[in-house]
Amino acid sequence: GIHMSKKLAVGIDLGTSKTAIVTSDSRRICVPTAVGRPKDRIARRVTGRESVVGDDLKHPSLSLDVIRPLSGAQFKYERRGDDASVEQAVLSDLHLILQHSMTRLGIDQAEVSQCVIGVPSRAELPAQQFVLDVGRRVCPQAIVVPEPFAVAYGIGHLSDALIVDIGAGTIDICPMVGTYPMTESQVTVGTGGDAVDRAITESLLEMLPEAVFRADEIRELKERYGSVAVEGEEVLVTLTVAGRPQRVDFGPALREGCRLILQPVVDGIFEALESYDYQTQKALLGRIVLAGGGGQVHGLDAHVEMQLRKEFGEARVQKVHDFVYAGAHGALRLAVDMPAEHWDSLKSAA
């Protein structure tokens, strides 16, 4: 017919900590991958709704239990046959988050023609299927790709690059050698930003057993001041200590926590490189790209580069330009570039 529906492509980065969405007409949003539930009936009256998602969770109120459906403890990305209820809960939470973000962006699902979702790289097939189930509720022809691949596609480096995606739950390392990355060539290290937060919290409490603070405060400070330097400037913060406000130098605990990811990153890179010949290794070492929130930690790039040079002689480590949207942007480029017949075959398969 004459009436052509508007074609909209969407790229989604479904991260453990944050979800970012970018559209082909330049709308974008980033929200916590979290859902807040009122703790009791009073809390229900205060919040005035059953669930809270989006920006309202950036500084969650004490009335809420905050659930992060993709975080390691909550969900190990397996379809547990016996635990269908957990799975349903996670599905509906993720759906809520995506639904909310789409609404905030003013997207009508009917106009979405292509959608690519980036997921943690070694997400086993059941997990990818799981995310696909969520994605298909938003867009019937959604496809799922490993997050580091989306990042690589977005920056235009499909070969001679090693993507190191440092997320909240894991560090995913993906060698790009000119083909679609195979699961076995990727390395996942089971540590990340959440482990750093725990370490910072522990060393703070060791220093000040009577300190009271919130998890989101720790995460925010880390995102602002995170550094792997041994020495550094003071990071003065007011915390409640033994019931009274007290100025505390947060720096040492912060830097010690951030240094936790150094060795795992370097070891993971070694592991990802070991199965390649010398020429390929050299090419990969020439462009190591740090992505994800953890990649932004001050001094990490220089430190990793130094460690690799000790072993391999040459190495270049760079940070991805816009880490919040790098994955979503790459997913969008994939969605736009993918030939129409690919989407048609998906439609007929659906």
pLDDT of residue 73: 44
Of residues 46 and 161, which shows the higher confidence score?
A: 161
**339 and 236 belong to one structural domain:** no
Residue 287 is assigned to a structural domain of this protein: no
Domain containing 204: what range? Answer: 193-259
Give me the percent of the chain exceeding a pLDDT of 70: 90
Cβ-count burial 90-102 (b if 16+ within 10 Å, e if not): bbbbbbbbbbbbb
Residue 61 is assigned to a structural domain of this protein: yes
Residue 341 is assigned to a structural domain of this protein: yes
**148 and 17 belong to one structural domain:** yes
| DSSP code for 182 | P
Q: How confident is the model at residue 349 (pLDDT cuts 50, 70, 90)?
A: low
Q: Give the ranges where the chain is alpha helix by DSSP (H).
A: 41-47, 84-104, 125-138, 147-155, 193-207, 215-225, 251-259, 262-273, 278-285, 300-312, 326-337, 340-349
Residue 136 has pLDDT above 70, yes or no: yes
Tell me how many domains the chain contains: 2
Mean pLDDT of 240-268: 96
- Burial (CB count within 10 angstroms: exposed 0-12, middle 13-18, buried 19+), residue 26: exposed
**136 and 198 belong to one structural domain:** no
**236 and 115 belong to one structural domain:** no
**33 and 92 belong to one structural domain:** yes
Residue 84 has pLDDT above 90, yes or no: no
Residue 350 has pLDDT above 50, yes or no: no
The rounded distance, in Å, linking the Cα atoms of 163 and 284 is: 9
Q: How confident is the model at residue 99 (pLDDT cuts 50, 70, 90)?
A: very high
Give me the percent of the chain exceeding a pLDDT of 90: 70
pLDDT of residue 88: 81
Residue 74 has pLDDT above 70, yes or no: no
CA angle 77, 78, 79 (to 5 degrees): 125
Q: How confident is the model at residue 132 (pLDDT cuts 50, 70, 90)?
A: confident
Q: CB–CB of 167/149 below 8 Å?
A: no
Residue 186 is assigned to a structural domain of this protein: no
Residue 319 pairs in a beta bridge with 290
Residue 115 is assigned to a structural domain of this protein: yes
**28 and 128 belong to one structural domain:** yes
pLDDT of residue 65: 93
pLDDT of residue 79: 47
The rounded distance, in Å, linking the Cα atoms of 256 and 119 is: 29
CATH number at residue 211: 3.30.420.40
Q: How confident is the model at residue 6 (pLDDT cuts 50, 70, 90)?
A: low
* Span between the terminal Cα atoms of the chain, in Å: 24
Residue 236 is assigned to a structural domain of this protein: yes
Question: Which of 259, 292, 314 is a domain's end point?
Answer: 259
**240 and 142 belong to one structural domain:** no
Q: CB–CB of 162/173 below 8 Å?
A: yes
Q: CB–CB of 82/31 below 8 Å?
A: no
Residue 146 is assigned to a structural domain of this protein: yes
The rounded distance, in Å, linking the Cα atoms of 254 and 227 is: 7
Question: Which of 228, 259, 290 is a domain's end point?
Answer: 259
Of residues 302 and 7, which shows the higher confidence score?
A: 302
Give the closest residue to 221 by CA, choosing from 146, 298, 132, 281: 298
**106 and 198 belong to one structural domain:** no
pLDDT of residue 3: 46
Of residues 138 and 231, which shows the higher confidence score?
A: 231
Residue 204 is assigned to a structural domain of this protein: yes
pLDDT of residue 149: 93
Residue 224 has pLDDT above 50, yes or no: yes
Residue 106 has pLDDT above 90, yes or no: yes
**100 and 221 belong to one structural domain:** no
The pair of structure tokens assigned to 267 is 């070891």
Distances in Å between the alpha carbon of 93 and those of 10, 51, 144?
20, 9, 18
Residue 76 has pLDDT above 60, yes or no: no
- Burial (CB count within 10 angstroms: exposed 0-12, middle 13-18, buried 19+), residue 192: buried
| Total-model pTM | 0.90
The pair of structure tokens assigned to 172 is 């995913």
**216 and 117 belong to one structural domain:** no
Write out the DSSP string of 87-135: HHHHHHHHHHHHHHHHHHTT--GGGEEEEEEEE-TT--HHHHHHHHHHH
- Cα Rg of the chain, angstroms: 21
CA angle 217, 223, 227 (to 5 degrees): 115
Q: How confident is the model at residue 2 (pLDDT cuts 50, 70, 90)?
A: very low
Q: Which of 120-129, 245-254, 316-325 has the lowest mean pLDDT?
A: 120-129
**12 and 99 belong to one structural domain:** yes
> Dihedral angle at the C-alpha atoms of 259, 317, 18, 82, nearest 10 degrees?
-80
Q: How confident is the model at residue 335 (pLDDT cuts 50, 70, 90)?
A: very high
Strand arrangement, sheet containing 28-32: 28-32, 18-23, 8-14, 112-119, 142-146
25-62 pLDDT, tens digit each: 999 999 999 999 999 999 999 989 999 999 888 777 88
Question: Which of 240, 259, 278 is a domain's end point?
Answer: 259
Of residues 349 and 203, which shows the higher confidence score?
A: 203
Of residues 269 and 68, which shows the higher confidence score?
A: 269
Of residues 110 and 247, which shows the higher confidence score?
A: 247
**205 and 131 belong to one structural domain:** no
pLDDT of residue 55: 86
